[in-house]
Amino acid sequence: MIRYKLYQNHNSNSNTNGKWYARAVCEETYDTEKLAAHMSSHSSPFSAGVIHGVLKDMIACIKELVMDGKNVKLDDLAIFSAGLRTLPANSPEEFTASANIDSVRLRARSTGVFRTSVLTREAKTKQFSQYTVGEGSEVEMP
């Protein structure tokens, strides 16, 4: 179940100023250890400790491969890759990595059953809490 809260756009420069939108709410974040325990509880023959070790090794390998310029695809989840945020140069001759590459980012693109079209069709949503629509602010109801 994807829970959401309503918020109002307050950007006076936007043509959607004053309009209401939904934002997904995350109630809890699972770290690697908690994910391993969850996986172990699914009738797995492996202990949470073994699963945790495999996940830690997988994470290290994904990082190593992405940092080597490779994409890593976890079927039905995401393709992990590196992306660049760059600053413009006037010509190829003036472009240097130190001056024009601002940052390297981790990209995760959904794939398979986790594609946007599939998630949109199959996900169930529910409002996290009720709000009153008033003077343009989020007002949580008790």
For the ranges 70-74, 84-88, 122-126, which has the lowest average pLDDT? 122-126
Which residue in this structure is represented by tokens 């690697």? 32
Amino acid type, 29:
T
**What is the CATH classification number for the domain harbouring 43?**
4.10.520.10
83 lies in some domain = yes
Q: What is the pLDDT of residues 7-35, one digit of tens each?
A: 999 999 999 999 999 999 999 999 999 99
Count of the separate structural domains present in the chain: 1
- Distances, alpha carbon 94 to alpha carbons 84, 86, 87, 99, 141, in Å: 18, 13, 11, 9, 57
Residue 23 is assigned to a structural domain of this protein: yes
pLDDT above 80 for 112: yes
> Is 78 among the domain residues?
yes
| Residue 37 maps to a domain | yes
Residue 77 has pLDDT above 70, yes or no: yes
| Domain ranges, residue 43 | 2-127
The answer to whether the predicted template modeling score (pTM) of the entire model surpasses 0.85 is no
Please indicate, yes or no, if residue 61 is contained in any of the structural domains: yes
Q: Is 138 a member of any domain?
A: no
